[in-house]
Amino acid sequence: MGENEYMKIDVKKQEYVILLDLLAKANDSVKMLSVIEKDELERLLDAHKLANKFISHALTILNISHGTIIQELPSFPKINFPDSASIDVLTRAAMEAFLRFHLVFYAPKTKDEKAYRYLVHKVAGIVENMSYGFKNGKHEEGEKEELDRLRQKLESNKIYLSLKENQRTGLFQGKESDLWRWNPDTKKRLSWYDIGRNAGFGKLLAHDMYKHLSGYAHSGSLSIIQTDGALTNKKVNWLIQTSINIMEVLTANMIEEYCQMFPEAQKVLEDSGAINFVHVYVNVGHRLGENLATE
Protein backbone atom coordinates (compact mmCIF):
# COMPACT_ATOMS: atom_id res chain seq x y z
CA MET A 1 0.00 0.00 0.00
CA GLY A 2 1.50 3.33 -1.08
CA GLU A 3 1.96 6.50 0.94
CA ASN A 4 -0.98 8.24 -0.77
CA GLU A 5 -3.31 5.42 0.25
CA TYR A 6 -2.24 5.70 3.90
CA MET A 7 -2.83 9.46 3.76
CA LYS A 8 -6.31 8.85 2.33
CA ILE A 9 -7.11 6.52 5.23
CA ASP A 10 -5.83 9.04 7.80
CA VAL A 11 -7.97 11.82 6.32
CA LYS A 12 -11.08 9.62 6.35
CA LYS A 13 -10.40 8.67 9.96
CA GLN A 14 -10.17 12.37 10.86
CA GLU A 15 -13.62 12.92 9.37
CA TYR A 16 -14.94 9.99 11.42
CA VAL A 17 -13.41 11.56 14.55
CA ILE A 18 -15.18 14.87 13.81
CA LEU A 19 -18.56 13.14 13.43
CA LEU A 20 -18.08 10.96 16.49
CA ASP A 21 -16.95 13.88 18.64
CA LEU A 22 -20.04 15.84 17.58
CA LEU A 23 -22.37 12.94 18.42
CA ALA A 24 -20.71 12.42 21.81
CA LYS A 25 -20.97 16.16 22.59
CA ALA A 26 -24.64 16.23 21.58
CA ASN A 27 -25.32 13.12 23.65
CA ASP A 28 -23.56 14.60 26.68
CA SER A 29 -25.64 17.78 26.50
CA VAL A 30 -28.97 16.01 27.04
CA LYS A 31 -30.45 16.42 30.54
CA MET A 32 -34.19 16.05 29.78
CA LEU A 33 -35.08 18.50 32.54
CA SER A 34 -38.00 19.91 30.53
CA VAL A 35 -39.73 16.55 30.03
CA ILE A 36 -42.66 16.41 32.44
CA GLU A 37 -44.78 13.49 31.22
CA LYS A 38 -43.55 10.29 32.92
CA ASP A 39 -44.08 7.85 30.05
CA GLU A 40 -42.38 10.16 27.55
CA LEU A 41 -39.44 10.65 29.92
CA GLU A 42 -39.07 6.87 30.23
CA ARG A 43 -39.12 6.47 26.44
CA LEU A 44 -36.58 9.25 25.87
CA LEU A 45 -34.26 7.82 28.55
CA ASP A 46 -34.28 4.46 26.78
CA ALA A 47 -33.62 6.15 23.43
CA HIS A 48 -30.69 7.96 25.08
CA LYS A 49 -29.33 4.64 26.40
CA LEU A 50 -29.53 3.05 22.96
CA ALA A 51 -27.63 6.01 21.50
CA ASN A 52 -25.00 5.45 24.21
CA LYS A 53 -24.67 1.84 23.03
CA PHE A 54 -24.06 3.05 19.49
CA ILE A 55 -21.44 5.52 20.74
CA SER A 56 -19.63 2.84 22.77
CA HIS A 57 -19.34 0.64 19.65
CA ALA A 58 -18.18 3.63 17.59
CA LEU A 59 -15.49 4.62 20.13
CA THR A 60 -14.18 1.06 20.35
CA ILE A 61 -13.98 0.86 16.54
CA LEU A 62 -11.93 4.06 16.53
CA ASN A 63 -9.62 2.66 19.21
CA ILE A 64 -9.11 -0.72 17.51
CA SER A 65 -8.47 0.97 14.15
CA HIS A 66 -5.10 2.14 15.53
CA GLY A 67 -4.03 -1.48 16.05
CA THR A 68 -4.44 -4.07 18.80
CA ILE A 69 -1.54 -4.55 21.20
CA ILE A 70 -1.42 -7.52 23.60
CA GLN A 71 1.35 -7.73 26.22
CA GLU A 72 -0.11 -10.19 28.74
CA LEU A 73 0.86 -13.52 27.13
CA PRO A 74 4.05 -14.96 28.71
CA SER A 75 5.16 -16.74 25.54
CA PHE A 76 4.58 -13.70 23.33
CA PRO A 77 5.95 -10.53 25.00
CA LYS A 78 4.23 -8.18 22.56
CA ILE A 79 1.57 -8.93 19.93
CA ASN A 80 0.60 -6.09 17.63
CA PHE A 81 -1.89 -6.66 14.82
CA PRO A 82 -4.65 -4.83 12.90
CA ASP A 83 -7.96 -6.43 13.96
CA SER A 84 -10.20 -5.69 10.99
CA ALA A 85 -12.49 -8.65 11.74
CA SER A 86 -13.47 -7.31 15.19
CA ILE A 87 -14.05 -3.87 13.67
CA ASP A 88 -16.50 -5.43 11.19
CA VAL A 89 -18.35 -7.26 13.99
CA LEU A 90 -18.66 -4.01 15.96
CA THR A 91 -19.74 -2.11 12.84
CA ARG A 92 -22.61 -4.57 12.38
CA ALA A 93 -23.59 -4.12 16.05
CA ALA A 94 -23.51 -0.35 15.59
CA MET A 95 -25.63 -0.59 12.44
CA GLU A 96 -28.26 -2.66 14.25
CA ALA A 97 -28.21 -0.23 17.20
CA PHE A 98 -28.89 2.67 14.83
CA LEU A 99 -31.60 0.79 12.89
CA ARG A 100 -33.39 -0.14 16.13
CA PHE A 101 -33.11 3.46 17.30
CA HIS A 102 -34.57 4.60 13.99
CA LEU A 103 -37.55 2.24 13.94
CA VAL A 104 -38.43 2.22 17.65
CA PHE A 105 -37.79 5.82 18.62
CA TYR A 106 -37.54 8.04 15.54
CA ALA A 107 -39.64 6.72 12.68
CA PRO A 108 -43.12 6.11 14.21
CA LYS A 109 -45.70 8.42 12.64
CA THR A 110 -48.74 7.82 14.87
CA LYS A 111 -49.31 7.74 18.61
CA ASP A 112 -50.24 4.04 18.44
CA GLU A 113 -47.13 3.09 16.47
CA LYS A 114 -44.92 5.14 18.77
CA ALA A 115 -46.28 3.37 21.85
CA TYR A 116 -46.41 -0.07 20.23
CA ARG A 117 -42.81 -0.18 19.00
CA TYR A 118 -41.39 1.12 22.27
CA LEU A 119 -43.46 -1.06 24.60
CA VAL A 120 -42.88 -4.25 22.59
CA HIS A 121 -39.16 -3.46 22.38
CA LYS A 122 -39.11 -3.09 26.16
CA VAL A 123 -41.15 -6.25 26.82
CA ALA A 124 -38.83 -8.32 24.61
CA GLY A 125 -35.79 -7.22 26.60
CA ILE A 126 -37.32 -8.01 29.98
CA VAL A 127 -38.60 -11.41 28.86
CA GLU A 128 -35.18 -12.29 27.42
CA ASN A 129 -33.48 -11.36 30.68
CA MET A 130 -35.93 -13.50 32.66
CA SER A 131 -35.20 -16.51 30.43
CA TYR A 132 -31.62 -16.81 31.64
CA GLY A 133 -30.69 -19.13 34.49
CA PHE A 134 -29.41 -16.47 36.87
CA LYS A 135 -32.31 -15.84 39.23
CA ASN A 136 -32.77 -13.23 41.91
CA GLY A 137 -36.14 -13.52 43.64
CA LYS A 138 -36.63 -9.84 44.42
CA HIS A 139 -35.38 -8.72 41.01
CA GLU A 140 -37.49 -11.31 39.21
CA GLU A 141 -40.60 -10.18 41.06
CA GLY A 142 -39.90 -6.61 39.99
CA GLU A 143 -39.60 -7.71 36.36
CA LYS A 144 -42.93 -9.54 36.55
CA GLU A 145 -44.59 -6.42 37.92
CA GLU A 146 -43.05 -4.37 35.11
CA LEU A 147 -44.33 -6.85 32.51
CA ASP A 148 -47.83 -6.57 33.98
CA ARG A 149 -47.62 -2.78 33.73
CA LEU A 150 -46.48 -2.92 30.11
CA ARG A 151 -49.15 -5.51 29.24
CA GLN A 152 -51.86 -3.21 30.58
CA LYS A 153 -50.57 -0.37 28.41
CA LEU A 154 -50.45 -2.60 25.32
CA GLU A 155 -54.01 -3.84 25.84
CA SER A 156 -55.33 -0.46 24.70
CA ASN A 157 -53.03 -0.27 21.68
CA LYS A 158 -54.66 -0.86 18.28
CA ILE A 159 -51.58 -2.37 16.64
CA TYR A 160 -51.02 -4.78 19.52
CA LEU A 161 -54.68 -5.81 19.50
CA SER A 162 -54.49 -6.46 15.75
CA LEU A 163 -51.90 -9.20 16.36
CA LYS A 164 -53.02 -12.82 16.48
CA GLU A 165 -53.58 -14.19 19.97
CA ASN A 166 -50.63 -16.57 19.68
CA GLN A 167 -48.38 -13.62 18.76
CA ARG A 168 -49.46 -11.63 21.80
CA THR A 169 -48.98 -14.66 24.04
CA GLY A 170 -45.66 -15.49 22.38
CA LEU A 171 -44.33 -11.99 23.03
CA PHE A 172 -44.59 -12.49 26.78
CA GLN A 173 -43.18 -16.02 26.50
CA GLY A 174 -40.06 -14.96 24.60
CA LYS A 175 -41.18 -16.64 21.37
CA GLU A 176 -41.99 -13.44 19.46
CA SER A 177 -39.12 -11.19 20.50
CA ASP A 178 -38.92 -9.38 17.17
CA LEU A 179 -42.51 -8.11 17.07
CA TRP A 180 -41.15 -4.58 17.52
CA ARG A 181 -40.39 -4.94 13.79
CA TRP A 182 -44.01 -5.74 12.91
CA ASN A 183 -45.51 -3.92 9.93
CA PRO A 184 -49.25 -3.56 10.62
CA ASP A 185 -49.94 -2.77 6.95
CA THR A 186 -48.34 -5.87 5.44
CA LYS A 187 -48.82 -8.10 8.53
CA LYS A 188 -45.17 -9.10 8.23
CA ARG A 189 -41.96 -8.41 10.14
CA LEU A 190 -39.64 -5.80 8.73
CA SER A 191 -36.20 -7.20 7.88
CA TRP A 192 -33.02 -5.29 8.73
CA TYR A 193 -32.93 -4.42 5.02
CA ASP A 194 -36.47 -3.02 5.21
CA ILE A 195 -35.55 -0.89 8.21
CA GLY A 196 -32.43 0.35 6.46
CA ARG A 197 -34.45 1.37 3.43
CA ASN A 198 -36.98 3.06 5.73
CA ALA A 199 -34.06 5.04 7.20
CA GLY A 200 -33.17 6.15 3.68
CA PHE A 201 -30.16 3.90 3.08
CA GLY A 202 -29.31 2.90 -0.47
CA LYS A 203 -29.44 -0.78 -1.38
CA LEU A 204 -25.67 -1.23 -1.12
CA LEU A 205 -25.60 -0.17 2.52
CA ALA A 206 -28.94 -1.66 3.57
CA HIS A 207 -28.34 -5.05 1.96
CA ASP A 208 -24.88 -5.72 0.57
CA MET A 209 -22.77 -4.15 3.32
CA TYR A 210 -25.02 -5.47 6.09
CA LYS A 211 -24.68 -8.96 4.59
CA HIS A 212 -20.90 -8.50 4.38
CA LEU A 213 -20.67 -7.45 8.04
CA SER A 214 -22.91 -10.34 9.12
CA GLY A 215 -20.44 -12.74 7.50
CA TYR A 216 -17.79 -11.51 9.94
CA ALA A 217 -20.15 -11.74 12.93
CA HIS A 218 -20.95 -15.36 12.03
CA SER A 219 -17.40 -16.30 10.96
CA GLY A 220 -18.43 -17.00 7.38
CA SER A 221 -15.89 -18.59 5.06
CA LEU A 222 -15.47 -15.42 2.99
CA SER A 223 -14.68 -13.37 6.10
CA ILE A 224 -11.91 -15.83 7.02
CA ILE A 225 -10.45 -15.74 3.51
CA GLN A 226 -10.57 -11.93 3.39
CA THR A 227 -9.02 -11.46 6.83
CA ASP A 228 -6.21 -13.94 6.14
CA GLY A 229 -5.61 -12.54 2.68
CA ALA A 230 -5.50 -8.96 3.94
CA LEU A 231 -2.95 -9.83 6.61
CA THR A 232 -0.86 -11.86 4.18
CA ASN A 233 -0.91 -9.18 1.48
CA LYS A 234 -0.73 -6.28 3.94
CA LYS A 235 -4.02 -4.86 2.67
CA VAL A 236 -5.83 -4.97 6.00
CA ASN A 237 -6.24 -1.18 5.96
CA TRP A 238 -8.56 -1.59 2.97
CA LEU A 239 -10.91 -3.70 5.12
CA ILE A 240 -10.67 -1.28 8.04
CA GLN A 241 -11.40 1.69 5.78
CA THR A 242 -14.57 0.05 4.48
CA SER A 243 -15.95 -0.15 8.02
CA ILE A 244 -14.83 3.41 8.80
CA ASN A 245 -16.75 4.58 5.72
CA ILE A 246 -19.86 2.75 6.92
CA MET A 247 -19.47 4.17 10.43
CA GLU A 248 -19.25 7.71 9.07
CA VAL A 249 -22.62 7.27 7.38
CA LEU A 250 -24.17 5.62 10.44
CA THR A 251 -22.79 8.27 12.82
CA ALA A 252 -24.09 11.11 10.64
CA ASN A 253 -27.54 9.51 10.54
CA MET A 254 -27.49 9.00 14.31
CA ILE A 255 -26.53 12.66 14.80
CA GLU A 256 -29.40 13.82 12.61
CA GLU A 257 -32.08 11.65 14.20
CA TYR A 258 -30.84 11.98 17.79
CA CYS A 259 -30.61 15.77 17.57
CA GLN A 260 -34.14 16.02 16.15
CA MET A 261 -35.42 14.12 19.19
CA PHE A 262 -33.54 16.12 21.83
CA PRO A 263 -33.62 19.97 21.76
CA GLU A 264 -30.35 20.31 23.76
CA ALA A 265 -28.57 18.10 21.25
CA GLN A 266 -30.05 20.05 18.33
CA LYS A 267 -28.58 23.25 19.76
CA VAL A 268 -25.14 21.60 19.96
CA LEU A 269 -25.43 20.62 16.29
CA GLU A 270 -26.53 24.12 15.24
CA ASP A 271 -23.76 25.79 17.27
CA SER A 272 -21.14 23.44 15.80
CA GLY A 273 -21.52 24.84 12.29
CA ALA A 274 -21.28 21.24 11.02
CA ILE A 275 -24.87 20.71 9.82
CA ASN A 276 -23.86 20.63 6.15
CA PHE A 277 -20.92 18.33 6.94
CA VAL A 278 -23.32 15.89 8.64
CA HIS A 279 -25.77 16.11 5.73
CA VAL A 280 -23.01 15.17 3.28
CA TYR A 281 -22.61 11.80 4.97
CA VAL A 282 -26.34 11.30 5.42
CA ASN A 283 -26.75 11.83 1.69
CA VAL A 284 -23.88 9.45 0.93
CA GLY A 285 -25.85 6.71 2.68
CA HIS A 286 -28.98 7.61 0.72
CA ARG A 287 -27.40 7.36 -2.70
CA LEU A 288 -25.03 4.45 -2.20
CA GLY A 289 -25.27 2.26 -5.25
CA GLU A 290 -21.67 1.49 -5.99
CA ASN A 291 -18.79 0.67 -3.67
CA LEU A 292 -18.00 1.99 -0.19
CA ALA A 293 -14.43 0.71 -0.27
CA THR A 294 -11.53 3.04 -0.92
CA GLU A 295 -10.60 2.98 -4.58
pTM higher than the cut 0.85: yes
pLDDT in tens, 256-269: 999 999 999 999 99
pLDDT in tens, 66-77: 888 888 888 988
pLDDT in tens, 95-111: 999 999 999 999 999 99
Provide the pLDDT for residue 190: 97
Reported as a pLDDT band with limits 50, 70 and 90, residue 200 is very high
For the residues 124-141, what does the mean pLDDT come to? 81
Residue 137 predicted with pLDDT over 60: yes
Ranges of H-type helices in the chain: 3-29, 38-64, 84-100, 111-130, 137-154, 158-161, 165-173, 192-198, 203, 210-217, 221-232, 236-261, 263-272, 275-287
Residue 185 predicted with pLDDT over 80: yes
Residue 11 predicted with pLDDT over 80: no
Provide the pLDDT for residue 138: 67
Provide the pLDDT for residue 9: 53
Provide the pLDDT for residue 30: 94
For the residues 230-240, what does the mean pLDDT come to? 63
pLDDT in tens, 33-61: 777 788 999 999 999 999 999 999 999 99
Provide the pLDDT for residue 123: 97
Rg (CA), the chain: 21
DSSP 81: E
Provide the pLDDT for residue 80: 79
Reported as a pLDDT band with limits 50, 70 and 90, residue 79 is confident
Least confident of 79-83, 142-146, 187-191, 291-295: 291-295
- Alpha-carbon distance of 75 to 128, in angstroms, equals 41
- Alpha-carbon distance of 259 to 253, in angstroms, equals 10
- Alpha-carbon distance of 91 to 89, in angstroms, equals 5
